[in-house]
Amino acid sequence: MGSGIAHVFALKGFEVTLVEAKKELADKALAVIAKNLDRQVAKGAVTAADKDAALSRIKPALSPKEAPGFQFAVEAVSERMELKTSVFRELDAAAAPGAILATNTSSLSVTEIAASVKDPSRVIGMHFMNPVPVMKLVEIIRGLQTSDETYQVTRELSLKLGKTPAAAKDFPGFISNRVLMPMINEAIYCLMEGVSTKEDIDTVMKLGMAHPMGPLQLADYIGLDVCLAVMEVLHQGF
């Protein structure tokens, strides 16, 4: 999702530093962005000049220290609290005074993540949907100490990116995954208990409930590891 977030920011005119753990991962992310931009050009959604300009705005890096004094960051690492708080400490050390630090977490506590930095009022949840260049929603989650200014800047930025912001409080799973993941889990139970085939379970939800993708197909798309991680957060939180 990090590459998709970088793609959207760069396409809207922002200078982006794309931080990855290894150079080969950064190279792979840039290749994915270029491929997805080519797809948009082929569909007439953007011009070839737009594509070239967007790519020119993305600088790969191996540490936030390579972008000292940045004003806004979006973290998109794995759903592990210890990893996220480690990244936030790095971001906090490199950021400009007053910079906003956003997390793309899909379920973890924004308040707990914010506790790892000097000023928790500058931390907010900015949960993009996958694939980021296509999906319009950004779920914005306020931690207990998130300031009104941080929220307003993040909301306005979401609109500048062409997204529709929806506000949520800092509960496990927020809105999206608190509703989605138990539904996916029930679809898996329907399959496990032999209620129906995977194809017919997905067909019922697509044609009966107007979902663009069935829950089992969606679970594969999200990743079963991610689905499990979110369900464990919900189980622990509730």
Q: What is the pLDDT of residues 4-58, one digit of tens each?
A: 999 999 999 999 999 999 999 999 999 999 999 999 999 999 999 999 999 999 9
211 is catalytic: no
Q: Which of 9, 15, 1, 141 is closest to 69 using CA atoms?
A: 15
Instruction: Give yes or no for a contact between 188 and 227, defined as CB atoms under 8 angstroms apart.
Output: no
In sequence order, what are the beta bridge partners of 128? 138
* Tens digits of residue pLDDT in 78-87: 889 999 999 9
Cα(first)–Cα(last) distance of the chain, in Å? 27
The mean pLDDT of 171-181, rounded to a whole number, is 96
The whole-model pTM stands at 0.92
Task: Give the model's pLDDT for residue 86.
Answer: 97
Residue 169: pLDDT band with limits 50, 70, 90: very high
Q: Is 106 a catalytic residue?
A: yes
- 127 a catalytic residue: yes
CA 166 to CA 141: how far, in whole Å?
9
- The reply to whether 139 belongs to the active site is yes
Catalytic residue among 79, 116, 139, 158: 139
Distance from CA of residue 235 to its chain's centroid? Answer: 22
Q: Which of 36, 109, 116, 127 is catalytic?
A: 127
In which band, very low, low, confident or very high, does the pLDDT at 141 lie, cut at 50, 70 and 90? very high
Q: Which residue is catalytic, options 104, 106, 109, 158?
A: 106
